[in-house]
Amino acid sequence: MNTNYASFGQRLVAIIIDSIIIGVVQSFVFIPILAAVGLGFASGAENMDMSVF
């Protein structure tokens, strides 16, 4: 049985490609969540009493 393992360069390219794919998927998940939280905070900030600061 002959097993050919990936070289360092192939593994490095694979981890870079995986990181890019995971980053794109995370951006599609987290950007709407952060936008919703940010918009909720912005609308709540209008009602805050800023005279305390």
**Residue 36 scores a pLDDT above 60:** yes
| Residue 26 domain-assigned (yes or no) | yes
Is position 2 within any domain?
A: no
Q: What is the pLDDT of residues 1-16, one digit of tens each?
A: 788 899 999 999 999 9
Domains identified in the chain, total number:
1
Which two structure tokens, joined as six digits, stand for 19? 């990181």
Backbone conformation region of residue 19, classed left if phi is above 0, alpha if psi is from -120 to 50, else beta? alpha
For residue 8, is it within any domain?
no
Query: Which domain covers residue 29, as residue numbers?
Result: 13-42
DSSP letters for 1-53? ----PPPHHHHHHHHHHHHHHHHHHHHHHHHHHHHHHHHHHHHHHTTS-GGG-
Domain presence at residue 7: no
Q: Is residue 51 part of a domain?
A: no
pTM here is: 0.60
| Residue 29 resides in a domain | yes
Does some domain include residue 32? yes
Q: For residue 50, is it within any domain? A: no
